[in-house]
Chains A and B, each alone.
Chain A
Amino acid sequence: MTATQSDSSPAVAVRLTGVEKTFPMRAGDPTIALTGIDLAIRPAEFVSLIGPSGCGKSTLLRIVGDLISPSSGTVEVNGKPAHQARLDRDYGMVFQAPVLFDWRTVEGNVRLPLEIMHIDRRERDRRAGEMLDLVELGGFLSHYPHQLSGGMQQRVAIARALVFQPAILLMDEPFGALDEMTRERLNAEVLRIWGQTGTTVLFVTHSIPEAVFLSTRVVVMSARPGRITKIVDIDLPQPRTEQTRETDRYFEFVTEVRESLRGRATASASRTRAEGGIG
């Protein structure tokens, strides 16, 4: 966790300094959603935010993406203010719901950001096709979203988020609504895509196994007020595969993150799989 100190500023993809967010309440004191958030993310890192509901992890993701502004503190993305980064189209967003447009085909949905960015038509079609191949939906270009399963829809959303090669991928519980089997398959797929594209990923989840399996670092948060309580370096070897989920090291990290979430001292990182069988 000394990584943040060794970063010189161009080598930092995201830098949060003293970020705080309060929401005014109609009655009584304002709610403090986030307080004292300091975090630096290196390029090509895969960082997960995990914590109980109400810990402000989604709020933090939205602050990074300049969808909402912090009450105080600064957010720097690729050396620029978050607002400028958004205007420069540095963000690819994936939400819990796929948010696909019913009136557009799968290909049309993936093409949407390129249309807004005025990429010419031939290039749009080429890139959309490429991205759909990447998420293994090459055969579904002219389908409509409602003709696909939930997992497939979410893969379309991932293709759409990556099609303009954003510097940072922001994912807000993207697999929260999917069944466990689909979720694990998509986890593996996200890792494969991350390996191929080298994108920086900030990933919000409330699944411990998911966070450990995917991340290079897991940021553990607690609620009321939302703050970072621990950052766990996950030094499981890359590339990770389904076998990774069965290693002792993996279970140790799962335990460590779980105990961090409970707010317990984590001298037990070396403890073996007492509660195994997760995921």
Chain B
Amino acid sequence: MSVRTEGLPAGPTSRGRALPGAATQLLRYLPAMTVLLGTLVVWEVATSGPGRHVLPPPSAILGAFAENGTVLRRSGLATFYEALGGLVIGTLAGILVALVSSHWSSARRVLLPVAIASSAIPIVAVAPILNNWFGVLNPLSKMGMAALLVFFPIMINVTRGLVEVPPAALELMRSYASSDREVLFKVRVPNMLPFFFTALKVSTTLAFIGAIVGEFFGGTSEVLGRVVLQSLSSGRFDIAWAGIAIGSAGAILSYLVVALAERLVIPWYRSVLAAQE
């Protein structure tokens, strides 16, 4: 019996040479962390002069957090809620259409060109329409924006993952006289999962963009998009940047959650990638 070392090919030497997990991780991210910290320091020093109004130094943005904590927290949560709702709706819709279009090739011939053509729609222009449809104060109008942005990458990638199965794998399943259902659940779906997670990671960011763009076109005031616009109009760039920072943090957090889910759901995938390098 063999014990598999997580994420590493189970070669006999891989464990002996490897550093302890935490240290390896730290070393791997050290360059990125250094660049990030360096940027913050340069930013702080460079903006401490007269230009500080438009691009305030990080310390001033931190100050804005402290000063307007309640509003920023509530706005962040509201926008997070909209983005998350849109992510869920767009993902479910994308999976549903992908399942339909992958199962019936006639549906694929109709749906895919339509979907690709409609992805050319400038989504920003749709925001006022959605506000109008769902009601400007209804969070669904912002979720709709997020969902629209999320839908395409999910749908296209999930369709690809379901359809792009090696022909020999299908012949193999056919030689077992397996049903369509078994082909779906034992071949197509597992084959699709890496495609899905790749799309989902992109979609977390898109969901925040969609929600915030929707907020720009009106709605409740305690949301990130409104906070940014209002603080700009009152010349408070520090609060605007704090709002943007919260939005980024939300998107990064969602990304990390998806990345973690990916590791848990398809643990084999990381080592496949590693083996291909």
A: residues with CB less than 8 A from B are 62, 65, 67, 86-89, 91-93, 95, 97, 99, 101-103, 112-113, 115-117, 139-144, 146-147, 170
Contact = CB atoms under 8 A, between A and B. Distances in A.
Centre residue among B178, B187, B193 by max chain A CB count within 10 A: B178
B175 A102 contact: no
A86 B1 contact: no
B186 A116 contact: yes
B10 A101 contact: no
A89 B176 contact: yes
Given A91-B175, A103-B266, A139 B1 contact: yes
The dominant DSSP class at the B interface is helix
Contacts of B175: 65, 67, 86, 91-93, 170
Interface residues of B, number: 29
A142 B193 CA distance: 21
A146 B174 contact: no
B275 A86 contact: no
A141 B171 CA distance: 24
Contacts of A113: 176
Interface in B182-235: 182, 186-187, 190, 193
B176 A117 contact: yes
20 contacts: A65-B175, A86-B175, A92-B175, A93-B171, A93-B175, A95-B172, A97-B166, A97-B168, A99-B169, A101-B186, A101-B187, A103-B266, A116-B182, A142-B2, A143-B2, A144-B268, A144-B272, A146-B271, A146-B275, A147-B10
A170 B271 CA distance: 32
Nearest to B271: A144
A158 to B, nearest CB: 13
A99 B176 CA distance: 14
B2 A141 contact: yes
B177 interface: yes
B218 to A, nearest CB: 46
